[in-house]
Chains A and B, each alone.
Chain A
Amino acid sequence: MKGLFYSLLCGLIFMLFQTTIFPRFLPPEMRPNLLLILVIYLGLSESFLRAAFLTLLLGALQDVFCGSTFGLYATVQLAVFLLIRLFSDRLNVESRRLLLGLIATCTILQTVLLGFTLTTFAEAGPVLWVLLSDLPLQIFFNLLSGWLLLVFLLRVQPLLGNRQGMAGLAYQSKHHGA
């Protein structure tokens, strides 16, 4: 229950960053998608049912602040989560490079799924072009924020106490084994 609450709180803080703080400094195409990073993290570290439920809630939360149709991000984030889950046991989550690679792959995947959902279910105008033209910058800024979050998490983790199965973060920490 505590973990669920922390993840939701984290999602809410990320959402506030994306809607109020980033727009002050960054143009739309340079704003990272922090909730996607959180979904990747959940997909690698939480139990299936809990992570699926959280992903749905986070997707719905993102829907409240993104676009005009409720349910789009809930669908896309859930699909991204399921795909991560499909390969998660074959990935070496202890590798920092692999985690960053996963962020880049999931950004591309999310863009493809968004484009597919938007154009299949509705006449969405030139949205596909907008999505594709923003993709390189999105990948870069998602990677940058993923890396910063990873560094931050590894710093604070010893203060919070290590939890089991945290996407290999426990193993990456300098304090592991200490």
Chain B
Amino acid sequence: MRDFLKRHQIPLLITLLVLVIALVYSANLRKKTTTTLFERAVLTLTEPLQQGIDRTGASINGFWNNYLWLVDTRQQNIMTMKSNRDLRARLLAVEEIRLENQRLKKLLDFVEADPRKVLPALVVAEDASSWARTIIIDKGLRHGVSEGEPVVVAEGVVGRIIKVASNSSRVLLVTDASSSIAGLVQRTRTRGVVRGNGKELDLDFALRKDLVEENDLIVTSGMGGVFPKGLVIGRVDAVQRNAFGLFQQIRLAPVVDFSRLEEVLVLMDSAE
């Protein structure tokens, strides 16, 4: 036995090593939102470096855009002023609706559905691979962030927290291939599961009999307990309805521009 072990020392060591690592991976599959000590240590160690690089990059970028690259500034200024006038007019109408809504809610003794605390955070880094879609933000355990909390921007849903270190957290974006959220079509109330495909989103399990059209808005349904109800996820880009089958294939365009994410909001657990 000892002879056998001695003779096949290297192949046995390799097999053992691969098996152990595969087992570690397999065990971690069941607890994706648990941050290991190693992950926490590396994230804590690299966070100041990432933040430093990010800030330097942002300063250089800002200097370039604000003082040097001003080619189309005048044109943009004219367009902004025009859209500002339009928006002011629209805002007046919206304000009227808001006040009316407030009065009606009071009448119905409406209780705010989501009294969560909102924590603003800066995006300091992105995923190191080409296929996964995650970002790193500059808020962590110290700021009360915990795994599973939703992350949003003004336009809509960004993703959810999957790993937390003391001063930083990792967010799984909705466009990641392993992400799925319970959603519904705002207009028709058709339910489905919004899944990421790396670049865009798909709405799966939407019944074929429900008429979904291009540009329909998809919002979170509140099922699953991670995302509060009514957050915008995306707009219908294309619908494919076959002559048979239970479901239709719906392709969505996310409302959030993930290539330009800089600040996000973490919706913290109401218990905190």
The interface of chain A, by Cβ under 8 A from chain B, is 12, 15-16, 18-21, 23-24, 27-31, 33, 35, 48, 52, 56, 59-72, 74-75, 78-79, 82, 114, 117, 121-122, 124-127, 129-131, 133-134, 137-138
CB distance from A22 to the nearest CB of B (A): 8
A122 and B125 form a contact (CB under 8 A): no
B53 interface neighbour in A20, A33, A68, A124, Cβ under 8 Å = A20
A60/B10 contact (C-beta < 8 A), A114-B131, A130-B177 known: no
B127 and A66 form a contact (CB under 8 A): yes
With the chains together, A165 CA to B257 CA distance in Å?
Answer: 47
Which residues of A have CB within 8 Å of B25? 69-72, 74-75, 117, 121
Closest to A28 in B: B130
The interface of chain B, by Cβ under 8 A from chain A, is 10, 14, 17-18, 21-22, 24-29, 32, 36, 38-39, 42-43, 46, 49-50, 53-54, 57, 61, 124-134, 136, 162, 172, 176-178, 180, 195-199, 259
A69/B32 contact (C-beta < 8 A), A64-B43, A75-B22 known: yes
Interface centre among B125, B129, B178 (most CB of A within 10 A): B129
A65 interface neighbour in B21, B125, B177, Cβ under 8 Å = B125
A74 and B131 form a contact (CB under 8 A): no
A65/B127 contact (C-beta < 8 A), A74-B21, A82-B18 known: yes
B131 interface neighbour in A27, A30, A64, A127, Cβ under 8 Å = A127
Closest to B261 in A: A23
A64 and B57 form a contact (CB under 8 A): no
Which residues of A have CB within 8 Å of B39? 63-64, 70
CB distance from A34 to the nearest CB of B (A): 9
Which residues of B have CB within 8 Å of A66? 127-129, 132, 134
B125 and A19 form a contact (CB under 8 A): yes
A56/B29 contact (C-beta < 8 A), A65-B128, A68-B134 known: no
With the chains together, A75 CA to B39 CA distance in Å?
Answer: 16
A19/B131 contact (C-beta < 8 A), A70-B25, A75-B21, A125-B195 known: no
CB distance from A28 to the nearest CB of B (A): 5
Taking A71-B26, A133-B198 as given, write out 8 further A-B residue pairs in contact, using a Cβ cutoff of 8 Å, ordered by the A residue number.
Answer: A33-B130, A48-B10, A60-B38, A67-B132, A67-B178, A69-B32, A71-B22, A71-B28
CB distance from A23 to the nearest CB of B (A): 4
A127 and B127 form a contact (CB under 8 A): no
CB distance from A10 to the nearest CB of B (A): 14
A68 and B178 form a contact (CB under 8 A): yes
B134 and A23 form a contact (CB under 8 A): no
CB distance from B60 to the nearest CB of A (A): 9
